[in-house]
Structure 1
Amino acid sequence: MSNVLTAAQTRFLRGQAHGIKAMLQVGGKGVTDALVAELDAALEHHELIKVKVGAADRESRDAMIAELVERTASALVQRIGHVAVLYRQSRDRRQIVLPRA
C-alpha cells in the first residue's frame, strides 16, 4: 500500500476521523523510538488515528509530523493546529475500505 492518497480517499478519511479523539501525544522529548513503536502498533490496530503534537512553533510541529509519517510508512490525511490524522492500511485486519477514485 502506497502512502499516497487520492483526493477522494483523503476526503473520505477526513470524514471518518472527525469523531475520533487523539490517541497519542508527542511531548517534550519529541519523537522517540518508544513513541514510534506505540504509533506503529496503534496504526496496525486502528488504521486511522489522531496524534497531538505539542511543539512551540509550526516548523517544529511540521518536522515532527513528517518524521512520524516517514518512520511509520503512513499517510498524512490532515493536519489542523497541533493535531495530525495519520492512516496506514493494516497488514492483518483491514477495517477501512477506501474509495477507488
Structure 2
Amino acid sequence: EQVNLALEARELIKISILQNCEENRYELADALTQATKAELVRVLGKTLVLYRKSINKSQIVFPKSK
C-alpha cells in the first residue's frame, strides 16, 4: 500500500532493496509492477525505479514522438 501511495503522489519512485534480501531483484520487480500496475523503468544494482501515471494529478509530461 505504501508503494501505491508513493506512486500516486510522485509517479516516479526509487525502491532500494536491502542488502540481506535473498530474493532475485528481477522477480521482486516483476511482483511489484504486477501488484501496483506500474511500469519498471530500470533496475540499477539493488535499486528499482517504477513509474505509474497519477490518476489525480499527472506531473510528468513526456515529449511527443516525431
Percent of counterpart pairs with the same letter?
35
Q: Paired residue for 1:78?
A: 42
Post-superposition Cα deviations, 1:4-34, rounded to whole Å, max 9, x if no partner, equal xxxxxxxxxxxxxxxxxxxxxxxxxxxxxxx
Q: What is the TM-score when the length of structure 2 is the normalising length?
A: 0.86
Post-superposition Cα deviations, 1:6-63, rounded to whole Å, max 9, x if no partner, equal xxxxxxxxxxxxxxxxxxxxxxxxxxxxxxx000000000000000122236xx2111
Decide which structure has greater helix share.
Answer: 1
Q: What is the TM-score when the length of structure 1 is the normalising length?
A: 0.58
Structure 2 segments unaligned to the other structure (5+ residues): none
Alpha-carbon RMSD across the aligned residues, in angstroms, is 1.2
Equivalent runs, 1:1-101 vs 2, <5 Å: 37-54=1-18, 55-56=21-22, 60-101=24-65
